[in-house]
């Protein structure tokens, strides 16, 4: 992420939603995972301010929370794009050219695995398997699956999502 995108994330975070989540789980033992999941659902990632708020409200150390956040791949500590583009790198996809698809994504958007565009519109992820081997090579953009990908189809998908909003 560039310095500009990082500066945008330094802006003050409205903690109202995080406080509402914490209110709901305040007296429940072992509620850290659902709290973090709901906070991430709201913000799209786990802002640092919410970690400290959660630690204070649930009476746990921030280091314990960071341990959970860094252990589970589902949690993200930096803003992610509105569109998460997952490129399957499983065996079937690899054999059918997933490497070219990943390179095309990188060329067109200027981001590689686990990177986000400066405008926070796209995040790229190379994943082990999407589970649609019969459609290899496959990508997903959020919940939409695109099979039999080629460089030309990849360009079309990228342009489709760039044009949205």
Give 131-147 pLDDT, tens digit per residue: 999 999 999 999 999 99
Give 64-99 pLDDT, tens digit per residue: 999 999 999 899 999 999 999 999 999 999 999 999
Q: Are residues 46 and 117 in the same domain?
A: no
- Range(s) of the domain holding residue 123: 83-163
Give 21-66 pLDDT, tens digit per residue: 999 998 888 899 999 999 999 999 999 999 999 999 999 999 999 9
Question: Is 78 domain-assigned?
Answer: no
- The C-alpha atoms of residue 60 and residue 153 are separated, in whole angstroms, by 48
Cα–Cα nearest to 133, from 86, 84, 88: 88
The pLDDT of residue 165: 75
Q: Are residues 47 and 94 in the same domain?
A: no
The pLDDT of residue 9: 44
Q: Are residues 98 and 50 in the same domain?
A: no
- The C-alpha atoms of residue 100 and residue 97 are separated, in whole angstroms, by 5
Give the DSSP H or E segment for 84.
strand 83-88
Cα–Cα nearest to 138, from 74, 76, 95: 95
The pTM of this model reads 0.77
Q: Are residues 57 and 116 in the same domain?
A: no
Which of 71, 104, 127 terminates a domain? The answer is 71
């Amino acid at each position: 992420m560039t310095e500009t995108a990082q500066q945008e994330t330094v802006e003050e975070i409205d903690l109202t939603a995080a406080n509402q989540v914490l209110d709901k789980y305040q007296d429940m033992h072992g509620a850290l995972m659902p709290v973090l999941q709901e906070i991430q659902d709201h913000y799209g990632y786990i802002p640092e301010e919410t970690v400290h708020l959660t630690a204070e409200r649930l009476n746990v150390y921030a280091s314990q929370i960071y341990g959970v956040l860094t252990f589970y791949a589902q949690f993200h500590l930096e803003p992610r794009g509105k569109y998460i583009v997952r490129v399957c790198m499983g065996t079937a996809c690899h054999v059918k050219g997933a490497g070219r698809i990943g390179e095309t994504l990188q060329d067109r958007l200027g981001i590689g695995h686990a990177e986000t565009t400066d405008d926070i519109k796209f995040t790229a992820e190379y994943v082990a398997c999407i589970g649609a081997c019969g459609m290899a090579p496959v990508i997903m953009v959020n919940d939409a699956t695109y099979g039999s990908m080629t460089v030309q189809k990849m360009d079309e998908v990228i342009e489709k999502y760039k044009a949205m909003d």
